[in-house]
A and B are shown apart, each in its own frame.
Chain A
Amino acid sequence: EAGVVQSPRYKIIEKKQPVAFWCNPISGHNTLYWYRQNLGQGPELLIRYENEEAVDDSQLPKDRFSAERLKGVDSTLKIQPAELGDSAVYLCASSPRVGTGANVLTFGAGSRLTVL
């Protein structure tokens, strides 16, 4: 079974440019998360989806960040315009439907963003 797939793995852009990251979760996982991980730190939640609904986006900087999960499967995270402080690894994770027991998150390998 394929895991959580993210692309691109690496992206280098100039500040003020836009950037987008794509995530394909594990088949059948209805919950999808976007986390940001700064160098040497733990992941911080940006947004959580239940199917196509964003149920927790309290930590998403909405002035420049946006996300969507059309049809409740793939998801895209966009930054426009990017700032130097946005340099980080953007991790996508998915988990099974609520009620199946363990809160098990499976992470993708991440997209490393460098803003120059």
Chain B
Amino acid sequence: TQLLEQSPQFLSIQEGENLTVYCNSSSVFSSLQWYRQEPGEGPVLLVTVVTGGEVKKLKRLTFQFGDARKDSSLHITAAQPGDTGLYLCAGGGDIIQGAQKLVFGQGTRLTINP
């Protein structure tokens, strides 16, 4: 069974600080996705990375896929209260084939205090 472990599970920081969330596994994934989930809503896809070592940026968010495609990180620069939410990483099968079962991590609950 493929497992994804996220750390930290909880993180509470002040507005303007930087932070990094990690997603680790002993399994190799062909793709890695990050989602953000707000209370009472479903997860919303932020990014998909597919190549070992790949880095993608989404405004103040930087996502990296590990060289061995077993781990990933999410770095947020100058965090804002609007970044508050549950961040989930999810590992998937061959992205070219499309619909595959995603294995989710347990999530990192991030709180940005004004």
> Within 8 Å CB of B19, what residues of A?
none
Q: Quick check: B42 and A108 within 8 Å, CB to CB?
A: yes
Which of the candidate stretches B61-69, B72-80, B98-106 sits at the interface with the other chain?
B98-106
Residues of chain B with a CB closer than 8 A to A41's CB: 106-107
B42 near A109 (CB under 8 angstroms)? Answer: yes
A2 sits at the interface (CB 8 A): no
CB < 8 Å: which of A42, A45, A104, A105 contacts B105?
A: A42
Give per-residue flags for A1-44: 1 if the beta carbon is below 8 A from chain B beta carbons, else 0: 00010000000000000000000000000110000000011111
Q: Mark contacts of B52-96 with chain A using CB atoms, 8 A cut-off: 1 yes-contact digit, 0 otherwise.
A: 000000000000000000000000000000000000101011011
- A48-B99, A103-B33 known; 14 other A-B pairs, CB under 8 Å? A4-B42, A42-B105, A42-B106, A93-B42, A96-B98, A99-B97, A99-B98, A101-B95, A102-B48, A103-B95, A103-B97, A104-B48, A109-B40, A110-B40
